[in-house]
């Protein structure tokens, strides 16, 4: 039996926001249900970091990741958006 390699690469989008907007998050989740979304809120231990949103886009499920990344950037155009591609 021949081994088949699976594409395990993913794109991580890191956004620091003032407050979480659940309507935007729900819209993105409805449009792209295969995206994993993580949040970390400010507390007394990490007050300098800010509220962080992380979007994990697995390349296995998406034909063209750049369209998805650009769509997410459109929703968060006022904030600093960092994109990391992990292969």
On average, the pLDDT of the chain sits at: 87
Q: Are 12 and 68 contacting, i.e. CB atoms less than 8 angstroms apart?
A: no
Residue 9 above 80 pLDDT? Answer: yes
Query: How confident is the model at residue 46, as a pLDDT?
Result: 65
- CATH code for the part of the protein at 10-86: 3.30.70.1910
pTM value?
0.81
CA atoms within 13 A on the CB side of 38: 8
Q: What is the DSSP string of 17-52?
A: ESS--HHHHHHHHHH-TT-EEEEE---SSSTTT-EE
Q: How many CB atoms lie within 10 A of CB 2?
A: 3
State pLDDT tens for residues 21-51.
999 999 999 999 999 999 988 776 766 667 8
Where in the chain are the domains? Answer: 10-86
More confident residue, 68 or 3: 68
**In the Cβ-directed half-sphere of 60, how many Cα atoms lie within 13 Å?**
8
């Amino acid at each position: 039996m021949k081994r088949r390699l699976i594409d395990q690469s993913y794109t991580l989008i890191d956004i620091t926001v003032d407050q979480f907007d659940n309507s935007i998050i729900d819209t993105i989740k409805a449009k792209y249900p295969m995206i994993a979304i993580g949040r970390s809120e400010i507390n007394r231990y990490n007050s300098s970091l800010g509220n962080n949103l992380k979007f994990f886009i697995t390349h296995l499920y998406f034909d063209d990741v750049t369209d998805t990344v650009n769509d997410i950037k459109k929703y968060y155009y006022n904030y600093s958006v960092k994109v990391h591609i992990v292969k």
